[in-house]
Amino acid sequence: MDNFGLGEYFSKEIEHFLLQIHKYESKDVERMPIWSKVDQLHKDSLEFRLLRMNGYNVSPDSFCWFLNDEEIQDHLKTNIEHLFLVMLSVYRATDLIFPGESELEKAKEFSRKLLEKNEFIDEIMVSSSHIKHEMSTPWMARLKHLDHRMWIEDRDQNVISTGKASSVCLHADKLTHLASKNFELRQAVYRREMEDLIKWVKKWGLYDIGFGREKTTYCYFAASSSTSLPFESAANVRKLMAKSGILITVADDFFDEEGSSDELEALTEAVIRWEGKQLKGYGKIIFKALDNHIKETAETYRKQHGTDITNHFRNIVRLY
């Protein structure tokens, strides 16, 4: 669900599942046969990643036990051509490391070395493109929406399940179809928001202002890719971040490159007083766009929460 971008639609079910696995007591792996140990490592690493990514307090020991087991380490090294999926799960479990968690650093290094032997990979079990993607770009630097597309486009049921969830495999086609429609819906929303943003920039004279950097697309991409809130509720956040980024970029270039000392002083005074009637030229354009942005954002907040934050928002700008 998470890989396909469908997690927010099944939040209650996922939370119930996470609670169940968080309460589950780990088994005594020392007495297990080697094949059971491998299965347990796969399961434990999957559970660790899911729990940690969703804010649960979980110790790396829950799956890093394999670092103290020479038998399973030797087995993994010897049979890596059949166990890439397990090692990929271990590697992904180390995406979120807190300071001082040396076990996770060791697990990451161990799994990375084995995953780098991708010339032995069995494409039926796991796609080499997934492994290369995971290792080439750190998790913190990846865009979830594009990751969802990668998973959707790979219709191999083994990759879709990334484990032993046979019920997921049985419904893989339905999940893929649902995820594809959801991806297309989000793309349409992103496209509409981008079009609205370009209209706003042109309306207030920022699109072809005549100096500095034109960062409309860049600012929207940065805003839409970095918001982790549920998709619909993040719409206003995306717009706020994108417009703020555009205005900051234009104002920064005006102060650094274009404006005279008198123009810069006049704009600064206008922001302090929040009165732009005396402004001319670029300073007037910037102030009017800024004033509209604040009024628009404050009105959206007032409708949702019943509180006027206009003055608070203006004070933030004055501090900047």
**Domain holding 288: CATH number?**
1.10.600.10
Q: How confident is the model at residue 307 (pLDDT cuts 50, 70, 90)?
A: very high
- Which of 123, 140, 157 is where one domain is finished? 140
The answer as to whether 301 is a domain residue is yes
Number of structural domains (the chain) is: 2
Task: Evaluate the CA torsion angle 115, 119, 120, 121 in order and state its sign.
Answer: positive
Give the pLDDT confidence score for residue 153 in this predicted structure: 82
- Nearest Cα residue to 1 out of 40, 37, 54, 41: 54
The reported pTM is: 0.73
As a whole number, mean pLDDT of residues 128-148 equals: 80
**Among all chains, which residue has been given the structure tokens 């995971």?**
134
- pLDDT band, residue 159 (cuts 50/70/90): very low
Distances, alpha carbon 236 to alpha carbons 117, 190, 233, in Å: 45, 12, 7
Residues 196 and 134 in one domain: no
**Overall average pLDDT of the 183-205 stretch:** 93
Structural domain harbouring 236 = 190-319
What's the pLDDT at 260? 94
Separate counts of helices (H) and strands (E) for the chain: 16, 0
Q: Check whether 22 has a pLDDT greater than 60.
A: yes
- Interval 64-119: pLDDT, tens: 999 999 999 999 999 988 888 899 999 999 998 999 999 999 999 999 999 887 66
